[in-house]
Structure 1
């Protein structure tokens, strides 16, 4: 029964993983025409405000929905689930109102802090998307809490398709009509608002038929352990806030970059125009990191209700095995993605953005994929047993490192310095979480040296094959265009992926149980046996 539940949860994770992958691919793809059409400075304008959008989408997609799903999973009856969803909606509406009013009121001051007053209309535009956060967070959280991942997946893809279509249309229009970069950025950000409206309409039936519908006479069922708005509000602040912070960890580090990188470059003697262009080049790393993280974060967040159930039933053995499986899978995927990207980065940079500028900074930055994947998994484990203090302290310690050292590093080392401090901040968070975790959990979070050795062998083999095949193909076809380069990159990626999987199977990187919990893992094992 436990294996079946875990398999169902893993299948749900794969559904969200696939949807997230589609959304993140779209999120990466639209930046290619955007950057090519509007240039590094136009890309800088958009990316300066993107972290605010990123925080909003995190709250509405992978932050508060995860916490709401946990609340829903804790309830025993359908009426309790509906009542807790209603209260969550009221609390989130209050949070949303505060954010919208704050961003609209203080947009000039925020833009001034970023060193560019022209960003004010972009901030005001993107603030409107927070109006729809309560609908999206509660709708997605409700379905995830009853282990129905398809509605969340559909809404996520729908939202990104609409947003990307608007952004590409705006970029084309801006280039053809010679708009200034700030007008382009404002209209591009409007895509986030329209997309939020469309996604909200998808959940309208749920709210009309269930969340806002009159309850039957037995609605007086107790809501224990959450019996009041004050208690639920406290849980939203501590538990929900912690989930949101860690779900948005990369975005928050990028927000600090928005206030420090361009200003730090100017302080080092770079002209204002060149500083904007360099910040645009530095921001090329963001879509790559998003793509690398999508699988690992989908696993860690989707399994939170399952881990909570295991704790409630005091099944320590099953809990430990689940944690170990998630650590193995998340770490393996993130390491493979990072090693692959670093090996191919000069070609990926040229393929996506037309040149290899900023390659060294991006190479450093993508190491964040491994650290952020581990942090997400650690946080899910701590959340599942209602331990928050170590995660919160670790988070603010790492954020403090970024705040204190980022501008200094940028002034001395340029955009490479910003990448280094990002990686350092994440490493500090991970170490602090490990040290601060309760002794009862430290054993669950350990990875033995044999797994590391096997992972190094698999990823190292992949790196050798990717590098060798890349050199051979580029040697056979020198001076290729971007289309031909894209074909080469795809071929090399496929070859590298097959190599990693083959070596992983050969050295038994995953246990049979871990393979079996992965959808289609059983079929793969049968083919291997044959």
Structure 2
């Protein structure tokens, strides 16, 4: 009977993890791709305003929510396992109180502080967008608290459904308001404010879904308690598990997670507070926001690569933790080597492909080739970004969770300094080059720590020479395609054909080059968690491996 319960619990946890992963991938993908119709409808100025305000909004959301759902889930899970129903209610009561206070505080700061924040950033065009996004902070934190509660019960479906609903409603309302306000001939600042208002609509929708799940859960819980007619075991909850002691314990658990989660968006926040002010030295306010919009054209493409890398890298965290627990040092070295090689190849191929196809991709997605050079520079953040992602996951699996966050904080500082030095001289290109350097430093620091802790030996042939040969083959194939594409008529359709053919050709050539240079062996493919054996069967079926 006990074995059956363990199997059921494990199965539920795995299914929940799969549900959350699918929901996260969908919401991130939709969140990135929605920027393309936004630029197409609103133009580069609206796009620039949106991308200047959104990182600041994201930081406030993370300050109000990051870490707390995880803390809530842990404390709820402990009390649920002990049958302490009153303890579970106390956790959600205290957490909801704190997160509501944080949300209201963030909302007031963003709404009434909009003029001050816009002056700090260097553009009055941002005020409507800042005010439009502020009300979302009234709803998103409470949703996060309820999500953490259900995750503590190992019920991931409410979180997944509310996340997807929130994102779909946000994007739908954003596009509707973009079309409506553009049709009215509103100013760019007002149109951008309408786009950010989608965040409030999405927050309301996400909270509504969570409240429906909460109502159903409470009704079911009341029925179960009435049927058993037994008092809650939570009545004997110790005093230190309630009130301020409970809140203090939750804060001590949530704050480090919150600080670590702020590291990644901090690099984007550097651009928010430096790029408009630095670019304005060479142009007016409208021209500055247009330049910011052009700069942000290439970022969703790199984020798509990073999202894929993030989704794949989570597979390595439990695998590495298990190997460490078993004391399997050879397994740790093998797993780390394979992961680093895979993500280095994915990032390198993505950077080369996006850089060489920047112009047709730019025309295909945004209607013109303005900023194609900047997009090509930004493409080169994909390779170090992929290494940052996988090395952080490997380090977390080995128990080093704080180091990757500290390295990203150092990268943000480097980004700040280089922005100040390069943007006045090179404009958008300078900001892109600063991003490459920042991510490269974070990747190098992560790799140095991982090489030391996992006992890895870096071989130049495997790390640089053979990947370099595959990269040259890819670059040559894409260069030939670009020469042939010069004969195509101008326009988005021709650009789309060239870009999509380039992607297909690049994948085929790079895969063939990797296999021909034996960068990946069958044993290394098998070492990939879960996906390795399936991928090996596909490659054998295609006769790419013997």
Q: TM-score, normalised by structure 2?
A: 0.79
Task: Please give the residue correspondences for 1:38-117 in structure 2 after superposition, counting only pairs within 5 Å.
Answer: 38-55=42-59, 64=67, 67=70, 71=74, 78-79=81-82, 86=92, 92-117=99-124
Within the alignment, does 1:390 sit opposite 2:397 as a pair?
no
Q: Partner residue of 2:259? A: 241
Distance verdict in 2 for CA 1:157–1:320, change over 3 Å: farther
Q: 2 CA distance for matches of 1:222 and 1:306? A: 37
Q: 2 CA distance for matches of 1:73 and 1:521? A: 39
Q: Partner residue of 2:385? A: 372
Contact 2:73/2:150, CA 8 A, preserved across alignment: no
Task: Please give the residue correspondences for 1:39-438 in structure 2 after superposition, counting only pairs within 5 Å.
Answer: 39-55=43-59, 64=67, 67=70, 71=74, 78-79=81-82, 86=92, 92-138=99-145, 154-204=161-211, 206-208=213-215, 217-219=232-234, 228-242=246-260, 244-246=261-263, 249=264, 251-267=265-281, 269-301=282-314, 304=317, 307=320, 321-388=334-401, 390-435=403-448, 437=449
Q: Partner residue of 1:3? A: none
SS state of the match for residue 109, structure 2?
helix
Structure 2 residue corresponding to 1:501, chosen from 506, 511, 524: 511
Distance verdict in 2 for CA 1:461–1:73, change over 3 Å: farther
Distance verdict in 2 for CA 1:475–1:428, change over 3 Å: closer
Contact 2:74/2:152, CA 8 A, preserved across alignment: yes
Cα deviation for residue 59 of structure 1 reads 7.1
Q: 1 CA distance for matches of 2:147 and 2:466? A: 37
Distance verdict in 2 for CA 1:454–1:254, change over 3 Å: same
Contact 1:297/1:377, CA 8 A, preserved across alignment: yes
Unaligned runs of 5+ in 1: 1-5
Q: Residues 58-78 of structure 1: CA distance to partner in whole angstroms, max 9, x if unpaired?
A: 6799x5489559948996964
Contact 1:136/1:203, CA 8 A, preserved across alignment: yes
Q: 2 CA distance for matches of 1:231 and 1:34? A: 43
Q: Residues 274-333 of structure 1: CA distance to partner in whole angstroms, max 9, x if unpaired?
A: 222222211212212221211112233565466556656666555555544443443333
Cα deviation for residue 266 of structure 1 reads 2.2
Q: 2 CA distance for matches of 1:21 and 1:418? A: 28
SS state of the match for residue 479, structure 1?
coil
Q: 1 CA distance for matches of 2:528 and 2:310? A: 19
Q: 2 CA distance for matches of 1:148 and 1:454? A: 46
Within the alignment, does 1:466 sit opposite 2:456 as a pair?
no
Alignment RMSD (CA, Å)? 4.3
Q: Partner residue of 2:5? A: none
Contact 2:69/2:145, CA 8 A, preserved across alignment: no
Q: Partner residue of 1:524? A: 538
Distance verdict in 2 for CA 1:309–1:65, change over 3 Å: farther
Cα deviation for residue 139 of structure 1 reads 5.6
Higher relative contact order by CA 8 Å / sep ≥ 6: 1 or 2?
1
Distance verdict in 2 for CA 1:387–1:33, change over 3 Å: closer
Q: Residues 99-138 of structure 1: CA distance to partner in whole angstroms, max 9, x if unpaired?
A: 3343234222111111122422321321322333445545
Contact 2:72/2:95, CA 8 A, preserved across alignment: no
Rg larger in structure: 2
Q: 1 CA distance for matches of 2:109 and 2:75? A: 30
Cα deviation for residue 195 of structure 1 reads 1.4
Q: 1 CA distance for matches of 2:237 and 2:123? A: 54
Cα deviation for residue 46 of structure 1 reads 1.8
Cα deviation for residue 348 of structure 1 reads 0.7
Distance verdict in 2 for CA 1:144–1:421, change over 3 Å: farther
Unaligned runs of 5+ in 2: 1-9, 226-230
Contact 1:9/1:302, CA 8 A, preserved across alignment: no
Q: 2 CA distance for matches of 1:145 and 1:445? A: 41
Contact 2:132/2:196, CA 8 A, preserved across alignment: yes
Task: Identify which range, 275-284 or 340-349, moves more after superposition.
Answer: 275-284
Q: 2 CA distance for matches of 1:20 and 1:252? A: 21
Task: Identify which range, 396-405 or 136-145, moves more after superposition.
Answer: 136-145
Aligned residue pairs: how many? 517
